[in-house]
């Protein structure tokens, strides 16, 4: 008697793909951070639901369905998340470690639940439902593209305060939008060749591909075009190779030459340098080298999960502030592998590379073993994942983009199994045990999922309160008259008392309290941030600035000395420090500070100020 099969694999696959689409498309304008925060919350809640399914499978020993590849992936993912958790617990600022840097939101919770999406996709997406991957990606890509068209022609239904190109789509930044649309463009383009859909659908896909390409061009974000070129070109090579090995070999050679020449051109070498090189490449070089320095000085646990920004000033090269300004900083390495190595150390970084390596290995193996349309279907999904990885070399992990990197990676692993190792528990007299396991899963799964989702909902609801209340607070100007100040105080205190507050928001609250005349309370909020994070350059600078406004230079100067230790190349901070010493009547220290400025590659105006103001 065969075991009765449940629809869970099919339903879970749909849930994974639908969740990925919703995470990418969703934003909420009544939040302080309308893009990144809600995408993280949906990732947490969707991942919590899927985690319940994985846990119930483990409890009834039904996790891998006889597939050793899923067990291997589970071990690699467990290694990555375990090492990341250790690095998280070792990070001194726990809010950032768990929830991530403000406007980034790529802390432990993001990566943990992205890994859950990866495992779930690998378990439940296979050749039998591979077309759902294409349908999901093409659908989300079409919505993003249409929204991009609206934004380009000035018909956005949201009036964003947008300092970038108009095409920010649903992810808040032209670079992110172009990178993600490139991933969907790969799926749209390859579906024309890989699927058996009717000719009118394929004509529509061709038109959509042209439109996506045009919107990427309008975004002026070159990384979108380049990542599509890399991934789309690879698919063409595979397609031609399948038709004719000799012609395929020639195209492979040509692809390798173009790829190498293009890569060199990006770094200002070779005949394509004038077309491909941008000043941002040199800028990213500073970010990458700073990341390597962080890893070199903190090899085992990194500088802390999502703490790149806190250490960037200390590890940036002297030439960086000269080229780009002394107050310009970065909270990410703009290279995902480097970022992960820098923030988590060697074990986290190596286990992350193991995840990528296993996906690449399974993708290549799946393409090699498959035949006919199946090979092209696998190749299309694999190339879409390649497009994500290509942009991740020069960009950051935005949750709205990253969800597709992890889901597509899991899909690559799942479809590479070619449905040849399905659950074998129904064979060799094991049918009865399979029925019992399926029944147990049916009972356990909703209970376990509900408990995990509820726990995560409590966490998310606290974050929602903080984001929404900060948004509401930002709509009011800080009052200057006493009557309005008294009404303002309980409103801002209500926000300040929300637990697990973003440190950046906590500083903003402190600043508003001080400006409203509640100086002691304002300083208390700022000092709480400094106590939790002694390396908070922003908190030290804010406190020093307030002390200077209050003419308390004896308290401001020590804070600026700490800022100097965090940022040895912060010439503007040094100039202010020198003036603090002058206000205290200590001309000797002021002159010494001036000499520090002159010893650096500072702009002429700063050098002249050091000479004239500080007597250096």
Top-confidence residue, 283 or 112: 112
In a domain, 2, yes or no: no
Residue 115 tokens read as 């890994």
Give the pLDDT confidence score for residue 443 in this predicted structure. 74
Compute the average pLDDT of residues 122-141. Answer: 96
What does DSSP assign to residue 477?
Answer: P
DSSP letters spanning 277-333: --HHHHHHHHHHHHHHHHHHHSTTT-S-TT-HHHHHHHHS-THHHHHH-TT---SS-
Average pLDDT, the chain: 91
In a domain, 358, yes or no: yes
Q: Are 29 and 158 in contact, with CB atoms under 8 Å apart? A: yes
Judged against a pLDDT cut of 90, whether residue 263 lies above it is answered with no
Judged against a pLDDT cut of 50, whether residue 425 lies above it is answered with no
**497 and 438 fall within a common domain:** no
In a domain, 20, yes or no: yes
**432 and 530 fall within a common domain:** no
Cα 95 from chain centre: 16
**74 and 113 fall within a common domain:** yes
For 300-345, write each residue's pLDDT tens digit: 999 999 999 999 999 999 889 888 888 789 999 999 999 999 999 9
Cα 318 from chain centre: 27
Instruction: For residue 497, give its domain range.
Output: 465-614
Give the pLDDT confidence score for residue 314 in this predicted structure. 93
Give the pLDDT confidence score for residue 279 in this predicted structure. 65
pTM above 0.85, yes or no: yes
Of 322, 318, 319, 351, which is closest to residue 337 (Cα–Cα)? 351
pLDDT band at 419 (very low <50, low <70, confident <90, very high): low
Buried b (16+ CB within 10 A) or exposed e, 588-611: ebbbebbebbeebebeeebbebbe
Compute the average pLDDT of residues 432-438. Answer: 54
Give the pLDDT confidence score for residue 434 in this predicted structure. 53
**438 and 481 fall within a common domain:** no
Q: What are phi and psi of 109, to 5 degrees?
A: -60, -40
Of 544, 514, 519, which is closest to residue 530 (Cα–Cα)? 544
Judged against a pLDDT cut of 90, whether residue 271 lies above it is answered with no
Top-confidence residue, 445 or 301: 301
In a domain, 292, yes or no: yes
Cα 561 from chain centre: 33
Q: With 0-12 CB in 10 A as exposed, 13-18 as middle and 19+ as buried, what is 499?
A: exposed
In a domain, 450, yes or no: no
Give the pLDDT confidence score for residue 277 in this predicted structure. 62
**424 and 499 fall within a common domain:** no
Q: With 0-12 CB in 10 A as exposed, 13-18 as middle and 19+ as buried, what is 124?
A: buried
What does DSSP assign to residue 6?
Answer: P
What Å distances lie between residue 578 and 556, 558, 581, 609, CA to CA?
A: 11, 12, 5, 10
What does DSSP assign to residue 105?
Answer: -
Judged against a pLDDT cut of 50, whether residue 5 lies above it is answered with no
CA atoms of 501 and 513, how far apart (whole Å)? 16
Compute the average pLDDT of residues 273-278. Answer: 65
**177 and 291 fall within a common domain:** yes
3-class SS of residue 399 = helix
Q: Report the C-alpha dihedral over residues 461, 463, 468, 471, rounded to 10 degrees.
A: 180
Long-range CB contacts (within 8 A, 24+) of 566-570 = 566/313, 566/314, 566/535, 566/537, 566/540, 567/313, 567/314, 567/537, 568/314, 569/313, 569/316, 569/318, 569/320, 569/321, 569/326, 569/600, 570/313, 570/321, 570/326
Give the pLDDT confidence score for residue 429 in this predicted structure. 41
**505 and 439 fall within a common domain:** no
243 Cβ contact list (under 8 Å, min separation 6): none
**242 and 319 fall within a common domain:** yes
Residue holding tokens 């375990």?
82
In a domain, 52, yes or no: yes
260 Cβ contact list (under 8 Å, min separation 6): none
3-class SS of residue 79 = helix
Judged against a pLDDT cut of 60, whether residue 1 lies above it is answered with no
Top-confidence residue, 36 or 280: 36
**32 and 177 fall within a common domain:** yes
Residue 516 tokens read as 């409203």
Judged against a pLDDT cut of 80, whether residue 612 lies above it is answered with yes
Give the pLDDT confidence score for residue 533 in this predicted structure. 95
**423 and 538 fall within a common domain:** no
Cα 483 from chain centre: 44
For 486-536, write each residue's pLDDT tens digit: 889 999 999 999 999 999 999 999 999 999 999 999 999 999 999 999 999
Compute the average pLDDT of residues 348-377. Answer: 96
**542 and 439 fall within a common domain:** no
**496 and 350 fall within a common domain:** no
| Structural domains of the chain, count | 2
Residue 595 belongs to a domain with what CATH number? 1.25.40.10
Rg of the chain in Å (alpha carbons): 27
Judged against a pLDDT cut of 60, whether residue 15 lies above it is answered with yes
In a domain, 449, yes or no: no
Give the pLDDT confidence score for residue 562 in this predicted structure. 96
Q: Are 492 and 516 in contact, with CB atoms under 8 Å apart? A: yes
In a domain, 402, yes or no: yes
Angle 390-392-398 (CA atoms, 0-180°, nearest 5)? 140
CA atoms of 386 and 380, how far apart (whole Å)? 10
Judged against a pLDDT cut of 90, whether residue 454 lies above it is answered with yes
């Amino acid at each position: 008697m065969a075991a009765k099969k449940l629809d869970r694999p099919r339903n879970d696959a749909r849930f994974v793909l639908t969740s990925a689409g919703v995470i990418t498309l969703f934003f909420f304008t009544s939040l302080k951070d309308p893009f990144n925060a809600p995408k993280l919350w949906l990732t947490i809640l969707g991942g919590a639901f899927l985690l319940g399914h994985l846990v119930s499978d483990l409890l009834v020993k039904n996790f891998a369905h006889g597939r050793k590849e899923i067990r291997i992936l589970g071990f690699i993912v467990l290694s990555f998340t375990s090492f990341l958790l250790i690095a998280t617990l070792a990070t001194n600022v726990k809010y950032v470690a768990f929830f991530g840097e403000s406007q980034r939101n790529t802390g432990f919770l993001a990566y943990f639940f992205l890994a859950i999406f990866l495992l779930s996709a690998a378990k439940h997406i296979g050749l039998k439902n591979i077309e759902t991957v294409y349908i999901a990606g093409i659908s989300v890509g079409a919505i993003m593209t249409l929204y991009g068209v609206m934004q380009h022609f000035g018909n956005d239904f949201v009036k964003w305060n947008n300092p970038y190109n108009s095409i920010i789509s649903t992810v808040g930044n032209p670079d992110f939008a172009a990178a993600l649309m490139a991933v969907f463009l790969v799926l749209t383009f390859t579906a024309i060749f890989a699927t058996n859909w009717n000719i009118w659908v394929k004509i529509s896909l061709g038109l959509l591909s042209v439109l996506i390409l045009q919107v990427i061009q309008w975004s002026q974000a070159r990384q979108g075009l380049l990542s599509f070129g890399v991934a789309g070109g690879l698919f063409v090579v595979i397609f031609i190779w399948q038709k004719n090995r000799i012609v395929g070999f020639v195209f492979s050679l040509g692809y390798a030459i173009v790829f190498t020449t293009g890569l060199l051109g990006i770094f200002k070498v070779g005949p394509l340098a004038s077309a491909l090189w941008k000043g941002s490449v040199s800028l990213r070089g500073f970010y990458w080298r700073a990341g390597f320095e962080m890893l070199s000085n903190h090899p085992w646990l990194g500088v802390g999960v999502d703490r790149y920004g806190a250490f960037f000033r200390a590890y940036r090269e002297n030439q960086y502030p000269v080229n780009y300004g002394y107050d310009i900083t970065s909270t990410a390495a703009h290279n995902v592998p480097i970022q992960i190595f820098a923030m988590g150390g060697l074990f986290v970084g190596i286990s992350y590379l193991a995840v990528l390596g296993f996906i690449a290995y399974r993708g290549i193996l799946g393409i090699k073993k498959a035949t006919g349309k199946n090979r092209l279907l696998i190749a299309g999904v694999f190339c879409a994942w390649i497009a994500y990885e290509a942009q991740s070399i020069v960009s950051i992990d935005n949750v709205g983009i990253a969800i597709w990197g992890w889901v597509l990676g899991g899909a690559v692993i799942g479809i590479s199994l070619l449905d040849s190792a399905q659950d074998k528990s129904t064979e060799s007299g094991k049918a009865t045990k399979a029925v019992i396991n399926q029944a147990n899963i049916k009972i356990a799964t909703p209970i376990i999922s509900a408990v995990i989702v509820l726990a995560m909902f409590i966490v998310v609801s606290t974050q929602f309160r903080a984001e929404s209340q900060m948004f509401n607070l930002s709509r009011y100007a800080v009052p200057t008259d006493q009557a309005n100040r008294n009404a303002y105080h309980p409103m801002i205190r209500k926000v300040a008392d929300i637990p697990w507050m973003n440190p950046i928001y906590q500083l903003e609250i402190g600043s508003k309290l001080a400006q409203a005349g509640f100086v002691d309370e304002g300083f208390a909020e700022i000092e709480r941030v400094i106590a939790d994070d002694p390396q908070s350059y922003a908190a030290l600078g804010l406190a020093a600035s307030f002390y200077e406004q209050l003419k308390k230079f004896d308290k401001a100067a020590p804070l600026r000395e700490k800022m100097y230790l965090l940022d040895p190349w912060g010439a503007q901070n040094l100039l202010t420090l020198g003036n603090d010493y002058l206000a205290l009547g200590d001309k000797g220290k002021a002159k010494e500070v001036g000499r520090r400025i002159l010893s650096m590659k500072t702009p002429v105006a700063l050098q002249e100020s050091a000479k004239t103001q500080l007597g250096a």
